Amino acid sequence: MNSIRFQVHLAEEAIVQYANRIEAPLQRIGGALIAPSTMPITFWKIADVPWLDIPKPLIHGKQQFHYEAPLTAGMDLDCDLSLTKVEKKNGRQGVLFVYTHSLTCTCAGKRIVTVETVLISVGDK
Amino acid sequence: MMRKQITAAAIREYADLTGDQALIHLQDEAARQAGYPAPIAHGMYLMGLAQSIYLAEHPTHWIQSYSMKFHQPLIRGTMACFGYETCNDEIQVTITAEDEDGEVITKGIFSVKEGVCSP
């Protein structure tokens, strides 16, 4: 299995907590609180993803967010996360594996954000 | 240019909120085993801070797209320097470590739209 589907209810309190942690100003559009652009990265965890159940630590290589519309408090999001590519590379610390993921979040059938996350396994000597 | 020291407490608080409790961020021994001299900051914490520092100065902007490449880990306790440059309607951000090497930690780029308000 290289994809999972899950739902997220985006509560205003969760936005406030995340914004406070990354020191983001609170912003509103049409009265609704906007989630910081990087917040979708909190929608899933490595432990939730079966293909990342590996004994090596993972670090970020690249990260990208593209919004069709602001992500706002109160949205019920349908999220699809998939592993799109696995590459084996030789790095300064030895062999690395590069895992590329795509996450799409839609609300009532409308795409809100597309996220690409590239994680790299480290620690191989 | 904005400077911010990335402390162990800040890394711990980010880990607690996001659930990213990977030991390379939190424990000296795990970081050493992964090849780092000390625990490293979450890349997504730095990416989040970079957008926050910009938006604090531009509160009517909304970030429509944002990408970042992570070149080097930022070691716990390091002073991070956030630099911004506008180029062809996009904003380029570079985070460097304020240490003897002055290495580039990450480079990113984002595009914005007007039209939001800050309470």
Give the angle subtended at the CA of A112 by the CAs of A48 and B94, to the nearest 5°: 80
Measure the CA angle with vertex A63, ends B92 and B74; round to 5°.
75
Q: Chain A: give the shortest CA distance to residue B43, in Å.
A: 6
- Chains A and B form CB pairs within 8 A to the count of 118
Q: Residue B118: which pLDDT band, with cuts at 50, 70 and 90?
A: low
Number of residues assigned to chain B: 119
pLDDT at residue A125, rounded to an integer = 44
Contacts of B8 (CB under 8 A, 6+ apart): B39, B76, B77
| pLDDT digit string, tens, across residues A46-92 | 888 999 998 888 999 999 999 999 999 999 999 999 999 999 998 77
The angle at the Cα of B3, spanning B110 to B9, to the nearest 5 degrees, equals 100
Q: How far apart are CA B41 and CA A64, in angstroms?
A: 18
Which CATH number is associated with domain A3-121?
3.10.129.10
The residues facing A72 across adjacent strands are A34
Task: For residue A23, give the nearest of B47, B49, B69 by CB distance.
Answer: B49
Do residue A22 and residue B69 have CB atoms under 8 angstroms apart? no
CATH code of domain B2-7+41-114 = 3.10.129.10
Tell me, what's the ipTM?
0.94
Q: Assess B37–A contact: CB distance below 8 Å, yes or no.
A: no
In chain B, domain spans: 2-7+41-114
C-alpha distance from A96 to closest chain B C-alpha (Å) = 12
Residue A110 neighbours by CB distance under 10 Å? 8
Q: Would the CB atoms of B117 and A23 count as touching at under 8 Å?
A: no
Instruction: Report pLDDT for A56.
Output: 86
Secondary structure letter of residue A65 according to DSSP: E
pLDDT at A95: 86
